[in-house]
Structure 1
Amino acid sequence: MSTGSGAPSAPAPNSHHDTVSDDATATAPGTAPALAAGPAATPRKGTFSSLRIRNYRLFATGQMVSNTGTWMQRIAQDWLVLSLTGSSAAVGITTALQFLPMLLFGLYGGVIADRFAKRTLLFLTQSAMGLTGLALAVLTLSGEVQVWHVYLVAFALGMVTVVDNPCRQAFVSEMVGQDELSNAVSLNSANFQSARLIGPAVAGVLITAFGSGWAFLFNGLSFLAPIAGLLMMRTSELHEVERAPRSKGQLREGLRYVSGRPDLIWPIVLVGFIGTFGFNFPIWLTAFAHHVYHQGAGTYSLFNGLMAAGSLIGALLAARRAGSRLRLLVGAALLFGALEIAAALAPSFWVFAALLAPIGMVGLTINVTANASIQMATDPLMRGRVMSLFMMVFVGGTPLGAPVVGWVTDTFGPRTGFVAGGAISMGAAVVIGLILARVGGLRLKIDLRRGRRHVAFVPRSCPTTSSAERDLAPAA
């Protein structure tokens, strides 16, 4: 494995070397080790192949229940803040506070995940997340809730997520091994999006009939399911992964490792731009429901449900792919931005609603492709730190973008805010796609002749096509 300075010098079992062809590892010093995230000829797997593993079935079942509760709380929390304040910017502040800890402390969460037993850490974090839901339920049901209470609970939940997110991401490989990792990552996303279909629908009914407090209560109790699943796991069947010993400079070691790997750093930068400016859906969907279409919580739940349906389809399609290519990531990011702009300019309610499903599908493709390609290309000893950086940039960028996007939405209107997010996503996809093409020794070729591929990346001069070039060049 080619590593950055300070990274482990020998490839660990089931590491990046197993997923990249030999010609990719034989690059010249100082160049990208490989931009391919998987071999082109890997056989297609069954959609649910990783569910054959008992430990992963327990994990997935528990996550399905708690994810449903989490989505119920998200819908109830956003609507509660909007009801208390009438401000889209206040919804943006809530979102920012929930993800600010990831931006500030995310890398430390990765160090903790690499150093301690992940199953034990998850038991603690899932318990703490359940308590935050119960606390908000008590405040709301008692009629004492104020907006600063919601802000405080959102920040506390974000602090727990700092450790939970990289730990949960890295624990997947310990349950299923490297061979099923890509499939399990996709099924995790399908799990999350299935809950996103159920949670908002149930939350909409509960909020309309009884109020937000019952949604918070369900979320708090839902964490009993993943806790039970963790306790029931057979530890002897987990794939043993070496833990990083306690030492100085582990944070810098992780950053050096990523900075020396173009196949890691540029996908992380791309999802950072999209996560910061393109994924602010709580702000836009509440604004469109409330200010553009003058509807209530039921319409907001409908919008979330439509996005979830598209995301679920995207996750199931991703589960059938054997590998994750960077050209798919760049193409999906470009299409994602274009769809957001189209939705922002939609002339009617139903056109806007119809575009939410493809936005969800393409957005999920970005998430799964980046997640799987980065995990599969990373040394297991560094995985917690690399995934914490990925989550810090993807999720933690929201505190920077949400207040700005909320202000633009309040000042210039929901349509302008949505257009801005889509335009930034498209711009980032174009720039980083060109950077990856340059790193891979490719150039953009435009051929407008009839019967020819009009736009393609082709090798600059070398007649032999490397694996990096195959990754970005269009399929035949």
Structure 2
Amino acid sequence: MNSDEGDLRVLFKNTQYLWLYVSNLAFFFAMQSQIVMRSWLAFKLTDSEFALGLVAFSTALPMFFLSPFGGMMSDRIDRRNLILYGQCAAFMADLVVVVLILTDNIQFWHLLFSSGVNGCIFPLIMPARTAIVVNIVGKQRLEKAMALNMGGMNTARVIGPAMAGFLIDLIGIRYAYLFGASLLGLGVVSMFPINRSNPVALANQLPPLKSIWEGALFIKDNRLVMVLLLFGLIPMFLAAPFQNLLVVFAEKVWNVGPRGFGLLSSAMGMGGILGAIWIAFLKSSHRRLFRMMVCVILFCVLLFCFSFSPWFWGGLIMVFCANVFVNMFQTFNNTNIQLLIPDSVRGRVSSFLMMSFSLPLLGTLPISAVAELYGAPIALGMSAILAIIIAVVFYWISSNLRNMDKLVLVARGKE
């Protein structure tokens, strides 16, 4: 048995990690299915591409500004309880939306409000969700654990959106949304068996704002961490918002309806699963930067091809392949960041990583505005080209990024 297979066996025998994995799966299952259903509802209520951008923006704005506070809380209080209580709040918020839909009182502003509530909750629990993985499995098995987590998240991206799309077509949005909300309850229950994670003592001694500032200073003083955060942010801001425009391609470009929408969402998630499995069984290599550059460029090229595909089935293949590589890029980038930071500031640095996750949603607003004026294919295709150019320029001008492999190797050697 090689070391990679041994790491996977050890992870699956760790019951604490398994419960966390189930909770992650249920939580992201719910989140991904709700993205599909919110997009569908918004488009049906308004028939506007720009409305899709507004829904995404209402989630992204609080996510961006509250992320540092989530990281501070992750380093100051029990990470397990923070995740548990946050998921309870998200569950209650979704139940309100379900009632509005069941009583035929749902309006567009309700979607904006519920998206904003989720945008507030999500950044407060995600840094803890990321940081607690290291507490449970340790740094030596972190890359495999994160790859499995990404695989679980993308499994949710397959089943959740696919089921949402087909359920909308077969039984309507009411019960589809109820199905998604119920998964948040499963995520809550799955957190109970996980042991409490003690906060970092030093972080508890600092005032909240100073604690956040300490995390920002760590990033400022550790240039490679800052570079990786930015490098993961810029292409994602330009290219990743395509998920929110899938309903436009399904309804206006290819005229395939809710089933086609579900298939597109499923293909996207299945590509992510393949990317995560690929990493989980990929042999360790010191050529981390090479892998990241290949993945981000292939993602953007495939996304460009998807944008201008005249055939639905061709677009389906392109979105599948694109998500193989974007998932690999994100996993490589996030793992490198986690390897470079100490546990004393892990939650706070993870919160800045969470801020970068909000950028694709923020990017949806300008891209959807361009899509409304010139069409979704033009908007998405041009964004993909611009993302490639910026990624290459970023590599060219950043010596820290070009020396990443050596610096990560040194960080791993300290463990």
**TM-score (structure 1 length as normaliser):** 0.80
Whole-Å Cα distance in 1 between the matches of residues 64 and 407 of structure 2? 31
Whole-Å Cα distance in 2 between the matches of residues 469 and 117 of structure 1? 29
CA contact (8 A) 2:67 2:352 kept: yes
1:186 corresponds in structure 2 to: 147
Is the aligned partner of 1:392 residue 2:351?
no
SS in 2 for 1:167: helix
Whole-Å Cα distance in 1 between the matches of residues 198 and 17 of structure 2? 12
From 320, 332, 336, the equivalent of 1:373 is 336
CA contact (8 A) 1:132 1:153 kept: yes
1:390-433 superposed Cα distances (whole Å, 9 cap, x missing partner): 1102x222353111000111111111111122112212210222
Larger radius of gyration: 1
- In structure 2, relative to structure 1, the CA distance for the partners of 1:296 and 1:243 (3 Å cut) is farther
Alignment of 1:414-453 (within 5 A): 414-436=376-398, 438-439=399-400
- In structure 2, relative to structure 1, the CA distance for the partners of 1:244 and 1:276 (3 Å cut) is same
CA contact (8 A) 1:91 1:283 kept: yes
SS in 1 for 2:203: coil
1:141-169 superposed Cα distances (whole Å, 9 cap, x missing partner): 11000000000000001100121111111
From 403, 406, 409, the equivalent of 1:467 is 406
Q: Which amino acid aligns with 2:13?
A: R
Q: Which amino acid aligns with 1:201?
A: A
Task: State the Cα RMSD in Å.
Answer: 2.3
Percent identity at matched positions?
A: 24
Alignment of 1:32-111 (within 5 A): 43-46=3-6, 48-49=8-9, 50-111=11-72
SS in 1 for 2:358: coil
- In structure 2, relative to structure 1, the CA distance for the partners of 1:265 and 1:345 (3 Å cut) is same
Is the aligned partner of 1:244 residue 2:206?
no
SS in 1 for 2:206: coil
Is the aligned partner of 1:228 residue 2:166?
no
CA contact (8 A) 1:197 1:305 kept: yes
From 277, 285, 291, the equivalent of 1:328 is 291
How many pairs align?
404
Q: Which amino acid aligns with 1:247?
A: L
Quote how far apart the aligned CAs of 1:377 are.
1.0
Q: Which amino acid aligns with 1:372?
A: T
Is the aligned partner of 1:361 residue 2:324?
yes
2:369 corresponds in structure 1 to: 407
- In structure 2, relative to structure 1, the CA distance for the partners of 1:240 and 1:135 (3 Å cut) is closer
1:46-101 superposed Cα distances (whole Å, 9 cap, x missing partner): 57342221101111123223332322222111101100000111011101111211
Alignment of 1:302-321 (within 5 A): 302-321=263-282
2:413 corresponds in structure 1 to: none
CA contact (8 A) 2:269 2:320 kept: yes
Q: Which amino acid aligns with 2:406?
A: S
Q: Which amino acid aligns with 2:159?
A: I
What are structure 1's unaligned runs of at least 5 residues? 1-41, 443-456, 458-465, 472-476
> Which one has a larger percent helix, Structure 1 or Structure 2?
2
